[in-house]
Chains A and B, each alone.
Chain A
Amino acid sequence: MRQIFYLIQKEFRQIFRDKSMIGILFIIPLIQIFILGNAVTTDVKNIKLVVQDQDKTPYSRELLRQFIHSGYFKINGIEEDYNKLSSYLDSGKANLVIVIPKHFQRDIVLGNKPDIQLLVDGVDGNSSGVSLGYVNDIMQNYQERLIEHLPELSLQIKNMHRVEAEPRFWFNPNLESKPYIVPGIIALILLVITLFLTSMGVVREKEIGTLEQLMVTPIKSYQLVTGKIIPFCILGLLEIMIGMGFVYLIFGIGIKGSFFLILFESLIFVLSTLGLGIFISTISDTQQQALFMAWFFMIFSILLSGFFIPIANMPPVIQQITRLNPLRYFIVILREIYLKGTSLKDLIPETLSMITFSACLFFAAVIRFKKKLG
């Protein structure tokens, strides 16, 4: 036990002796939270819209007015020439083009169901899907207003819309992406810092020869691993607390659930990244190798975590692979606690999965460490 204390003391002395380390540990994550928190957004706003109104009647103008008032669209031009419309999409001046046909008003009044043409820039499938959703919403509203204002319209239109869904979004009523994204960013930073620090830490000692010196002492492998892990656990928890404080100050996003539950879950998560870091350390001979290996695992973890791409959208095989990714569970847990205030009781499957990973990685690290001696 005393040996572990001395290892921890040594580790902290080394970390805080290096002034640039303090920057890496505490300043850079804050900048990352600030920039990423503002940049990574799934909100679709300011959709560039180009319009061709071939009808030019009160009805068509009312429809366009609704587009403008929705707040999602920015009218980027009104084009009279049908052949020029595609050039707006080509040049990126428009994400969406609407063509209101001739006799639009007349057809409505006659009950002829006029068609509106939409041209959508489908390069970013996600955004175009969202903007189509907005368009459908607006059309729906438009029709309801028509029905209210035109009692003379035939009953058949009214009957078409008998059943209506009235969605209420819980936990994040305005469907803002920040409260959803920002906890994920905290998780990413925690992953990166702890994974890189430990994977470099052991290899560095290997390179300078102090590891060999430690190996000729009676110290046990598990003590050595524990002595490496505890300081970085403490740093990781410190990091996440600072991160959460910063998220509150900058974005005003507070935690709905328990602060201590977050710390507890973070601890379990950090044990898995530290175990992985030490494992990487034992299989690499130079800091360079360790860096590349850590980088590989980092990219893998982030892409398969559901942070950028929802896991439900992935092919089934890949979905199964994501189960091997502790970050996947941790991001879910953080979002749940942040947005819903979920209690431990409802997070047990995720928590157990993380515990399993942490335990496996920790033991793999210790065993590899022992083998290295043989």
Chain B
Amino acid sequence: METDIAVKASKLSRHFGTFTAVDEISFEVKKGEIFGFLGANGAGKTTAIKMLCGLIKPTSGEAYVAGYNINTDSSMVKKHIGYMSQKFSLYEDLTVKENIEFYGGIYGLSRKEIFEKTKKLLSELHLEKMRDSLTKALPLGWKQRLALSTALLHDPSIIFLDEPTGGVDPISRKNFWRIIYEIANQGKTVFVTTHYMDEAEYCNRLSVMFKGKIIEIGTPTELKNKYNKPSIQDVFIELVTRN
């Protein structure tokens, strides 16, 4: 079934005991879109993204990612998505090259593909010189870009980024977003959570989460016009105080 919808969630919920982390959220993400999940810490962004990636199971509701049901077809979902979390997820005691080789191998790339991808990635990231250094020796901004690249090794159609730029300096963040735009230009869907308001402005479409619910959804311009505010930051503060 060919559609232009990359992610579709309907009434997706997740409870932890009596606590409702995500409360019946519904939304659609179009192919090639940069879709932002905006929210304060603990608003349920990470839980929502983890459900979409098949890391945790929803308590109720369902979602389709890349056309596959996350409840019944999670292994197919996993084949078509890339994921990069706020926790830095490369092996620090492996070299740059070994990390790429490992994740390539896990995604089932052939030896030849791994070799070519490694070469291409290292030159794109200007990491040729660091090829054989341990990953822990890299500055955080580089690590994050490397992590993003390894999450893209298997050429996924959707990439989930969970607060990818946490703790990174403004210049590195800007560079990182340049890469996100490149990815989107290749026709991939980018699903990103953040609590940096300036980053929210870069998204094609935004959803604002508060206490597990999506309280607003739209393009940054739409939201600013609707609430008559100059920036997303002001919109966000307005929304949160109102609720």
* Given A6-B105, A7-B106, A210-B91: A215 in contact with B55 (beta carbons within 8 A): yes
Closest CB in chain A relative to B182 CB, distance in Å: 22
C-alpha gap A6/B103 in the complex (Å):
8
Closest CB in chain B relative to A101 CB, distance in Å: 75
Taking a contact as CB atoms under 8 Å apart, the answer to whether A10 and B98 are in contact is yes
Q: Is B4 an interface residue (CB 8 A)?
A: no
C-alpha gap A9/B81 in the complex (Å):
25
Q: Which of A216-274 contact B (CB under 8 A)?
A: 216-220
Q: Is B33 an interface residue (CB 8 A)?
A: no
1/0 per residue, CB under 8 A from B, across A289-301: the answer is: 0000000000000
- A5: chain B residues at CB < 8 Å are 105
Taking a contact as CB atoms under 8 Å apart, the answer to whether B106 and A3 are in contact is yes
Contact of B105 among A2, A212, A216, A220 (CB under 8 A): A2
Taking a contact as CB atoms under 8 Å apart, the answer to whether B89 and A212 are in contact is yes
Q: Is B210 an interface residue (CB 8 A)?
A: no
Q: Is B61 an interface residue (CB 8 A)?
A: no
1/0 per residue, CB under 8 A from B, across A7-41: the answer is: 10110011001100000000000000000000000
For A, the interface residue count at a CB cutoff of 8 angstroms equals 25
1/0 per residue, CB under 8 A from A, across B155-184: the answer is: 000000000000000000000000000000
Q: Which of B118-149 contact A (CB under 8 A)?
A: 134
Q: Is B75 an interface residue (CB 8 A)?
A: yes
- B79: chain A residues at CB < 8 Å are 218
* Given A9-B102, A10-B94, A13-B98: A213 in contact with B89 (beta carbons within 8 A): yes
Q: Is A208 an interface residue (CB 8 A)?
A: yes
Taking a contact as CB atoms under 8 Å apart, the answer to whether B89 and A210 are in contact is yes
Closest CB in chain B relative to A167 CB, distance in Å: 59
**Beyond A208-B88, A216-B83, A218-B79: 12 further Cβ-contacts under 8 Å?**
A3-B105, A14-B93, A17-B94, A210-B89, A212-B55, A212-B89, A216-B53, A216-B54, A218-B107, A373-B55, A373-B57, A374-B57
- A–B Cβ pairs within 8 angstroms, 10 of them: A2-B108, A6-B101, A10-B98, A208-B89, A209-B87, A210-B90, A212-B85, A212-B87, A216-B55, A217-B103
* Chain B interface residues toward A at CB < 8 A: 53-57, 75, 78-79, 81, 83, 85, 87-94, 98, 101-103, 105-108, 134
* Chain A interface residues toward B at CB < 8 A: 2-3, 5-7, 9-10, 13-14, 17-18, 208-210, 212-220, 373-374
